[in-house]
Chains A and B, each alone.
Chain A
Amino acid sequence: MDWSPFIISLKTASLAIIVTFFIGIFSARYVTNIKSDKIKSIIDGILIVPLVLPPTVVGFILLLTFGVNRPVGRFLLEFLGVKIVFSWIATVIAAVIVSFPLMYRSARGAFEQVDKELIMAGRTLGMSEEKIFWSVVMPNALPGVASGGFLAFARGLGEFGATAMIAGNIANRTRTIPLAIYSEVAAGNIRGAYVYVIVILIVSFILLFIMNYFTYKGKKY
């Protein structure tokens, strides 16, 4: 029994959700504040794309971007000495890109549902935009933002296609649980796959339970 996929998956999903959470919130805030509806829908479309593309296509595009013979990949390799492709960090990049739209969409929906008059009231009371966002908009959007975070975490944990494309399936390095399940089945070892599947099922149920608890729990205000 190889435990490394658990460790790798947990590390990947945890780092990915931290990155996704903040990028998601900031892009949601940015898009919410765009005044022109046209520009808003264009930017929204671009940010949502990873959700509708097949993960293998996302992985393929990432491979084109970060490949060592490509400008971005070469730059990172030559100037920073970092090789992204087939490294652990590639699993994080794949998870971030694929889970980002879920975080962004949930946060944006939650922000837009906050009563506009609360924001106006904050402005007429002299609160700075920054203060209004953190002490009025965020607390009132929290259930939606949190559920977006859980969805994104679950999506990152289950990421397969893009990870396989850009990070490969290297045991002890980039083999996450979904890839381990695939490898076991491909090798004809169904019993080995069971353990990984059960772990994923348990984690997913716990996540959904926490998420619903957060969303439906009677708010104290």
Chain B
Amino acid sequence: MALFVSIKKKFKEFDLDVKFKTDGKYLGILGASGSGKSLTLKCIAGVETPDEGRIELNGKILFDSKKNINIRPQERKIGYLFQNYALFPNMTVERNIGTGIELSKEDKKTKIKKLINLFHLEGMENKYPSQLSGGQQQRVALARIFAYNPNILMLDEPFSALDCFLKEQLHTEISDLLKLYDGEVLMVSHSRDEIYKFCENLVIIENGKSIHTGNTKEAFKKPKFLTSASLTGCKNITKIEIIDPFNIYAVDWGIYLKIKKKISMHTKYIGIRAHDIKMVQEKNDENIIFCSVVKIVEEMYEFAVFLKANTNIPKGSKKNTRIWMNIKKDEWSDININDEIYIKIPEDSIMLLEK
């Protein structure tokens, strides 16, 4: 069971150039809005045709520009959950679910009934999609796909059309339902939380190009590229100058830092996650920075503290970017704007990034 994708397609806005293969049950595609995530899914489903490349699913070639193979979407058997679910507005729930079933009338009825129960849609059989809530619509769309016995499931921003409150609730509900499916699942999202929660592996897409593929936890822990760091939610990123293999100068902050791992010539930036920065009392340690507090924002479970390093005007950079530190509420000690504090940037929390 595996999906292999390597495709290129020219567009007015950007060129799609995506390459990845699945390895495990869930693969997430992470990228900003308009980066080509949905287009990639559409190419796999066959409703868009790439200019060149190859798509293979479970050993069967779906598309190969060199061999002139392009299987019709109808014959690809791909379960595609569209962002807005694409339920047929002129059909009842029952008929929507039945569209992909090719069985005798009796068997079809039993199958629909089974799916209605499975997806908790009892009593909605004869309603139209517009009469359902967002969550119900999503369940109908999933039931319609399950009815079709697809070879792979592709979910396009499955939670983006729902409001925050529902989202949390549906995360667990959907993941329970997805467990019923034993094939591979491809999930597109711009939300790193969703990808982290659902997917073992991920592909990061930027401007139509797949720039990183690999294990999700790895990618969040040790991103290799500037964009993967910011897409995985790294708040502090600065350009650097290399002093020696273990010492760098963080240009945007105007500070010197020691690093644990030997730096390579390709490293152009570093990133530090906001929760890795700690406020400290002792001053005689490595990577201790004397800063003043610029701004404090209270969030639900933590405080975001914005700091400015108290150094001379940083050379090589006109801006003196703020350092973003998160402090959990139970670790909060009274800090005010303009206070001067010491922070520690742990050596092993510094992520070395390539452009």
Contact = CB atoms under 8 A, between A and B. Distances in A.
Interface of A: 115, 117-118, 120-128, 135-136, 139-140, 220-221
B128 A220 contact: yes
A121 B80 contact: yes
B90 A221 contact: yes
Contact of B86 (A115, A126, A128, A221): A115
Contacts of B144: 125
Given A124-B79, A126-B100, A220-B128, A117 B74 contact: no
B77 interface: yes
B82 interface: yes
26 contacts: A117-B86, A120-B45, A120-B82, A120-B86, A121-B86, A123-B45, A123-B46, A123-B47, A124-B46, A124-B47, A124-B73, A124-B74, A124-B79, A124-B80, A125-B100, A125-B145, A125-B148, A126-B75, A126-B100, A126-B148, A135-B88, A135-B90, A136-B88, A140-B88, A140-B89, A140-B90
Contacts of B106: none
* Minimum-distance CB pairs A-B, first 6: A121-B86, A221-B128, A139-B90, A125-B100, A123-B73, A120-B47
Interface string B74-108: 11111110101011111100000001101000000
Nearest to B45: A124
Nearest to B42: A120
B130 interface: yes
Contacts of B77: 126
B129 interface: yes
Nearest to A117: B86
Contacts of A135: 88, 90-91
Nearest to B131: A221
B136 to A, nearest CB: 15
Given A117-B84, A120-B45, A126 B90 contact: no
Chain B contact-residue range equals 20 to 34
B51 to A, nearest CB: 14
A220 B42 CA distance: 31
Contacts of A128: 74
A125 B148 CA distance: 7
Interface in B46-72: 46-47, 72
A124 to B, nearest CB: 4
A115 B129 CA distance: 15
A221 B144 CA distance: 19
Contacts of A126: 74-75, 77, 100, 102, 148
* Interface of chain B, main secondary structure: loop
Contacts of A140: 88-90
Nearest to A125: B100
A117 B89 contact: no
Nearest to B102: A126
Interface in B129-158: 129-130, 144-145, 148
Given A123-B45, A127-B74, A220-B128, 4 more contacts: A120-B45, A124-B45, A124-B74, A126-B102
A136 B90 contact: yes
A124 B102 CA distance: 14
A124 B41 CA distance: 11
A110 B151 CA distance: 34
A124 B130 CA distance: 22
B115 to A, nearest CB: 14
Contacts of A117: 82, 84, 86
Nearest to A221: B128
Contacts of B73: 120, 123-124
Nearest to B129: A221
Contacts of B130: 221
Contacts of B91: 135
A125 B84 CA distance: 16
A221 B100 contact: no
* Most chain B C-beta atoms within 10 Å of own C-beta, residue among A124, A135, A136, A140: A124
A120 B148 CA distance: 15
B46 A118 contact: no
A103 to B, nearest CB: 21
A123 B72 CA distance: 8
B52 to A, nearest CB: 18
B85 to A, nearest CB: 8
A213 to B, nearest CB: 19
A127 B47 CA distance: 13
A125 B129 CA distance: 17
Contacts of B129: 221
B76 A124 contact: yes
